[in-house]
Amino acid sequence: MTGTRPGTVRHDAGTGTWVLYGHSTAYGLRLAAGSVWHVWWGPALTPGQVAALPLPPRDHDDVLGEELPGEGGERFGPPSVQVAFADGTRAVEWVPAGHHIDGGHLCVALADRHYPLRLELHYRVRPDTDVIERWTRVRHTGAAAPVAVTTLDSASWTLPAHHHHRLSHVGGETKVEFQLCRTTLRTGEFTLTSRRGVTRHEVNPWLMVDHGDATEEHGRVWSVALAWSGSWRITTRRTLAGQVTISGGPGHGGPAWLLRPGETWQTPVFAGLVSDGGFGAASRQWHAYVRRHVLPAAGEDRPVFYNSWEACGFDVDEAGQRALAGLAARLGVELYVLDDGWFGARTDDRAGLGDWWPAPARFPDGLGPLIAEVHRLGMRFGLWVEPEMVNPDSELYRRHPDWVLHMAHRRRTEIRHQLVLNLARPDVAEWTYAWLDRLLTDNPIDHLKWDSNRAFTEAGWPGAADPGRLFTEHTRNLYAIIDRLRAGHPGLRIEACASGGGRVDLGMLGHAELTWPSDNTDPVDRIAIQEGYGQLYPAVTMGAGAGDSPNAVTGRAAPLRFRLHVAMAGALGLSGDLRQWPESERREAAALVAAYRRIRPVVQHGDLYRLRPAALDRATVVQYVSADAAETVVLAWRAITRPREIDVPLVRLRGLDPSARYRDVERGELFDGAVLTHAGLNLALPAGDQASVLWHLRRVTAR
């Protein structure tokens, strides 16, 4: 029916209702009484059906259900628009200022009744996804004094009222990232936030809400995710009557941005999705959206990588790296990444950040000979950088002590002995771009691991006319530098890291195709980290390292096969000291890497089914299926054996063609698609702790 064609927007002038159509869902909003109201988010109703829906109910003395509530009138929830005009007035009062539809993009404009401020609500839908992108823009339409903007959310989402709501999100810290949290949403406000200038580990900028009845495979789930890598806030508000709103955007409190006459300020995207089919279906939809519409170089296979950090720490030099590179190449590694310690006076974390030239004692002839050797071995070369940071003990800081975030008469708090460069300053941003561009021009570097190891403190900018811009401009300039580097060096690929997984978000994923979710490579811990990561972000972005045994972080020993099998669930990497691995293990690792390279297209670009949730003493099982159902990969891991778990029951596979037969690529055994789908696959998971198994099945015939 053309009226509900995916990727389009319909407008009913009679009721002032717009309906946006995603792949199979619709989103409705209406202009009424000087505001824009939410009316529908769910399965695709016709434009007439949505136009006939009522406005959201009020909560006796509170206005609810606006698409972007401002301050003023009976509004007592979290304001999504907070401004202060020159005369001290803070509230806003809107009048309609037109709308614009362009394919799947809708812009609804409002103007303040008295003051020179225009607000635009933007929406975008696409035919191949139910993810709706929303963002906001404000414009100073006058010629006089600036308007102080303290809050401008990207969107506020309204969910249907219900007697029970449950919230899912991830929380953690460095080395324990992406732990899945599920909790009843109670009356009041619940905020996920980072005030640290960077996304950081504590919570990640997405959440999911269900009615408490959703499972991995069943139930409706509403989810939202913010595309921003600086400070951020997502507040969920629930009334006693069970109405829920979720508002979110960049920043959290702090100084205002002074919007100058003629100036526009645009927020990042806050994307939303309503889906049936439980948490699994929600994750698959997000994964497909990220792959199709967010990532650069999305369709490429991510190379098997090696990273020197776990093996060497800061102790790197040309001879040692050559030796490791030689071993890595024999194991089938395709990208060799030299981590921290290669530059300036960097022999530990106390010095050198900011002095981005190869350390003469360690790399006497620069990086060229090592890069040439890595290329000769058939691998790409990657290099660690932390461009937003400086050690006070560095030539850069001695020359430019004013380039860091700081405040007059205040201490400069050091974390990891480093300070944050003020990337909001155009001269600092330009300098940063220039040294990176020179490094990439002078050296055939294929990949940068872009790290960021501390939060902002004393986030001031003495002398700036508008220091409140700092938080936003730092992140925008970060994105802009990466984009310029990519444009100038088209083969360059970027890995996002921030003390492990501290800067994973839809914003960064628009500029970096790979992340490093955690420095903890212990496979037992990684099972939960990977499950939390994969709630929103796809396997193709998830750098998954297999390190040494015992593990460098936890001290726990693990068989090589288990370490590799767990890491095969994402973009596989190796990170241990290969020099210490017995030759028998190196041979085994080479065989496992070769097996990974066979399953890689399915793991990295297929659909993920979490057949059994992450657990320590039960088998965790994940399955990946290619888009055409011709190939599937099953990975099962069990950290601790309990007697009742020695015989794992059959596990029913998903997404296969029941009328086809599938052959096990390694062992040649044949299976009926119908049996795998309805009865299941016997995993044959070996007994014992840290047991794992890999199945790779390919369709052979269609009956």
Which residues of this protein are in contact with ligand DGJ, per CB under 6 A? 309, 339-340, 384, 451, 453, 497, 499-500, 516, 519
Q: How far apart are the first and last CA of the chain?
A: 33
Q: Is 133 or 495 the residue whose CB approaches ligand DGJ more closely?
A: 495
Least separation in angstroms between residue 175's CB and ligand DGJ is: 9
Q: How many Å is the maximal CA-CA distance in the chain?
A: 78
User: Taking Cα atoms as reference points, which of 150, 200, 205, 208 lies closest to residue 182?
Assistant: 208
Q: Is 311 or 622 the residue whose CB approaches ligand DGJ more closely?
A: 311
Q: Is 519 or 525 the residue whose CB approaches ligand DGJ more closely?
A: 519
For the chain, how are helix, strand and coil distributed in percent, rounded to 5? 20, 35, 45
Q: Is 453 or 549 the residue whose CB approaches ligand DGJ more closely?
A: 453
Q: Is 9 or 333 the residue whose CB approaches ligand DGJ more closely?
A: 333
Q: Is 384 or 637 the residue whose CB approaches ligand DGJ more closely?
A: 384
> Backbone phi, then psi, for 509, in 5-degree steps?
-70, -15
How does DSSP classify residue 123? E
Least separation in angstroms between residue 308's CB and ligand DGJ is: 9
User: Taking Cα atoms as reference points, which of 50, 61, 73, 476 lies closest to residue 251?
Assistant: 476
Strands in 81-84's sheet, in edge-to-edge order, are: 81-84, 147-152, 257-259
All residues at 6 or more sequence positions from 5 whose CB lies less than 8 Å from its CB, including other chains: 21, 127
Least separation in angstroms between residue 503's CB and ligand DGJ is: 10
Position of minimal CB gap to ligand DGJ: 340
Residue 497: CB atoms within 10 A of its CB come to: 29
Q: Is 451 or 505 the residue whose CB approaches ligand DGJ more closely?
A: 451
Q: Is 497 or 621 the residue whose CB approaches ligand DGJ more closely?
A: 497
Least separation in angstroms between residue 320's CB and ligand DGJ is: 16
Q: Is 66 or 339 the residue whose CB approaches ligand DGJ more closely?
A: 339
> Backbone phi, then psi, for 322, in 5-degree steps?
-60, -45
- Grouping H, G, I as helix, E, B as strand and the rest as coil, residue 245 is strand
Residues 138 and 149: beta-carbon distance below 8 Å: yes
**For residues 636 and 161, what is the distance between their CA atoms, to the nearest angstrom?**
39
All residues at 6 or more sequence positions from 182 whose CB lies less than 8 Å from its CB, including other chains: 166, 167, 168
Task: Classify residue 675 as left (phi > 0), alpha (psi -120 to 50) or beta.
Answer: alpha
| CA dist list (Å): 127 to 23, 103, 296, 504 | 5, 10, 20, 26
Residues 305 and 573: beta-carbon distance below 8 Å: yes
**For residues 426 and 543, what is the distance between their CA atoms, to the nearest angstrom?**
32
Least separation in angstroms between residue 196's CB and ligand DGJ is: 15
Q: Which amino acid is at 173?
A: E
Structure tokens at 365: 């002839």
Which residues are annotated as catalytic? 451, 519
Least separation in angstroms between residue 393's CB and ligand DGJ is: 15
- Grouping H, G, I as helix, E, B as strand and the rest as coil, residue 372 is helix
Least separation in angstroms between residue 411's CB and ligand DGJ is: 24
How does DSSP classify residue 60? T
**For residues 622 and 703, what is the distance between their CA atoms, to the nearest angstrom?**
27
Least separation in angstroms between residue 309's CB and ligand DGJ is: 4
**For residues 390 and 416, what is the distance between their CA atoms, to the nearest angstrom?**
10
Instruction: For CA atoms 357, 360, 366, 372, give the dihedral sign.
Output: negative
Least separation in angstroms between residue 449's CB and ligand DGJ is: 6
Q: Residue 110's beta-bridge partner residues?
A: 96, 119
- Grouping H, G, I as helix, E, B as strand and the rest as coil, residue 238 is strand
